[in-house]
Amino acid sequence: MASSLPLVLIHPPLPGFEGQMSALYSVRHIADMGDDADAITAAVVIGSVGLPADALPRLTGLKLVHCLGAGYDGVDVPAMRARGVTVTNCPAVNAIDVADTAMGLLLSVTRMIAAGDRLVRAGQWVPPLAFPPVRRVSGRKLGIVGFGAIGSAIATRAAGFGLDIRWTGPRPKADAPYPFEPSLLALAEWADILAIAVRADASTEKLIDARVLEALGSEGVVINISRGSVIDEDALIAALKARQLGGAGLDVFEEEPTPPARWADVPNVTLTPHLGGGVREALIEFNRITFDNLRRHFAGEPPATPVP
């Protein structure tokens, strides 16, 4: 007997989340839509993934695409709007958690924490100093690229570590408590550390390129908790291998999962598996917002969190 519950498409499959949905919705995946495709009016997606282009022609009744997270770079929002589809997300829920990860990566790279862990485990610790002395974190210059919720939260944390802060973005903000630098290249030339916190879209693809890395210099550090597309990853790896860049901390990558062999011989880099926003409290709030937007959709009410 066919289910009487409203149909919701989930992409990619999210077993844990789908279990929570089963009491209220009948879940479908791209692979098993079958004859239900034209009856599906709501989809929940990972924002960086979106929906496959070849599935969209079959989803003739689609009216809502909800992104389970803050990002929606995998969704062509103008194209969806042209089709009469509303796109929603979970904005600013985990900004502080992503900022925490940025600071963890910053400290790991500048104070050799991950490298020290590997050295101890390999039995290569030779006193009195395992590494040549590094520079103090306090007093270094931090350039933040993008000063939204995440960039602002990074600045708040970095100020507590005594970092000198400036930022860049599309436009100045009157309420930003730190100096605005309109030129990304000028910011990179000034900075010791560059933290990337911009939204991923066509305008920011490979924004951090070889020129920016060269401006940052041989002692400079890049921290990326934005999206892998924002950095020219080949140029980053080449600069690290050539010692033209001091280090990098990356939570996001051009391809995810990133191939381990790609980083096997890259010096002074700390890598984490896109875990920046994955804390329990944020996931609970993601779920709350998602269920609220779905309820509103099926009740014919306006969504709570449409994307700008």
193-215 average pLDDT score: 96
Is residue 206 in a domain?
yes
Largest CA distance in the chain: 73
Clarify whether residues 20 and 87 are in a common domain: yes
Clarify whether residues 171 and 88 are in a common domain: no
11, 66, 140, 227: which is the annotated catalytic residue?
A: 227
pLDDT of residue 2: 56
197-203 average pLDDT score: 93
11, 199, 274, 297: which is the annotated catalytic residue?
A: 274
Clarify whether residues 75 and 181 are in a common domain: no
For the chain, how many structural domains are there in total? 2
Clarify whether residues 265 and 229 are in a common domain: yes
Contact 141, 135 (CB under 8 A): no
Per residue in 18-46, is it b (16+ CB within 10 Å) or e — as a string?
eeebeeebebbebeebeebbeebbbbbbb
pLDDT of residue 89: 97
29 as an active site residue: the answer is no
Among 102, 76, 87, CA closest to 293: 87
Among 256, 258, 230, 233, CA closest to 245: 233
Q: Is the model's pLDDT at 1 over the cut of 70?
A: no
279-305 average pLDDT score: 97
User: What letter does residue 39 receive in the DSSP assignment?
Assistant: G
Contact 32, 74 (CB under 8 A): no
Q: Is the model's pLDDT at 38 over the cut of 70?
A: yes
274 as an active site residue: the answer is yes
124-136 average pLDDT score: 95
Model confidence pLDDT, tens digit, residues 256-267: 999 999 999 999
Tokens of 260: 């381990």
Q: Is the model's pLDDT at 3 over the cut of 80?
A: no
Where residue 177 sits, what CATH number does that domain have? 3.40.50.720
pTM assigned to the model = 0.91
Is residue 173 in a domain?
yes
Give the structural domain span for 64. Answer: 7-93+280-299
Confidence of residue 26 (pLDDT cuts 50, 70, 90): very high
256, 281, 288, 295: which is the annotated catalytic residue?
A: 256
Work out the percent of the chain whose per-residue pLDDT is above 90.
96
Model confidence pLDDT, tens digit, residues 76-99: 999 999 999 999 999 989 999 999
Confidence of residue 4 (pLDDT cuts 50, 70, 90): confident
301 as an active site residue: the answer is no
